[in-house]
Amino acid sequence: MGFSEDPELQPVLFGLFLSMYLVSVLGNLLIILAVSSDSHLHTPMYFFLSNLSWADIGFISTTIPNLIVNIQIHSRVISYVGCLTQMSLFLTFGGMDRMLLTVMAYDRFVAICHPLNYHVIMNPRLCVTFLLVSFFFSFVETQLHLLAALQMTNFKDAKIANFFCDPSKVLNLSCSDTFTNNIIQYLVATMYGIFPILGILFSYYKILSSILSMPSSGGRYKAFSTCGSHLSVVFIFLGTGICVYIDSVLSDSSRNNAVSSLMYSVVTPILNPFIYSMRNRDIKSALKMIYGRIV
């Protein structure tokens, strides 16, 4: 459905979305470059951060480039295969974001609550295992949605009330067996939405308990500061995701759905690099070092 049919707004929307996409990709690539170029950042926390940046690049690349092309060629048509491909990639990278944020919460829990055993617990093998498990669960989530979508009849002239193939909108296009589709959506939302949130909340409950028991105010501030960036990203990503889900249930307005989805799928990948670079001294130092080498 897009955002607007006004011809005068199309160049504005084209420039806006192109700028947002370039800023997001460049910001996340800088995070990846900073982590890979500085040996001091070769730790579990930054290993997961760099993979989160890769996931963010993939996440925003599933929607915005196609939107930009649609604006430029004045067409909003997408093929059946193209729609399912976009939906699958969107789910995979979005799932990776959620799983990695959960793993990063566990990493902060071990660093603050078990600092002496941190490097023993968060060893390279466990970090790679966490990454592979995150991808596996994201892949399974994608296949569940794809299986439900493939049960639908191949049809023409269907309208999707969003600027991309939003999984919830695609599955709601079915005119038959909507009960099964709803069951799958609610089951997946519970498994891949509530469980990561509970994992993050439990980790931060333990972190908060440990921080409050510290005798030194300096130690408490340092512990809080190491969690600040991650907490900010969690609130933005999961908060906008919950708002999108609630809005899709309560509102039938395509404009509201598109704006909510924009916040979730575009704004979050843009803000992540700024949050981590502005609140993290190590990332700042690495970026300054890279800039010094270039200049």
Residue 23 C-alpha from the chain's centroid: 16
The model's pTM is 0.87
Residue numbers in the chain where pLDDT is lower than 70: 153-156, 174-182, 184-186, 189-190, 219, 244-257, 278-279, 295
Residues 6+ apart with CB under 8 A from 70: 2, 76
pLDDT for residue 278: 65
CB 86 within 8 A of CB 120: no
Query: Around Cβ 233, how many Cβ atoms within 10 Å?
Result: 21
- DSSP H stretches of helix in the chain: 10-37, 44-61, 64-73, 80-113, 118-121, 124-150, 167-171, 178-189, 195-212, 217-250, 254-262, 268-279, 281-294
Q: Cα separation of 91 and 8, whole Å?
A: 33
Tokens of 69: 């092309």
Give the chain's domains with CATH numbers: 7-294 (1.20.1070.10)
Angle made by CA atoms 65, 56, 91, in degrees to the nearest 5: 80
pLDDT for residue 271: 82
pLDDT for residue 284: 76
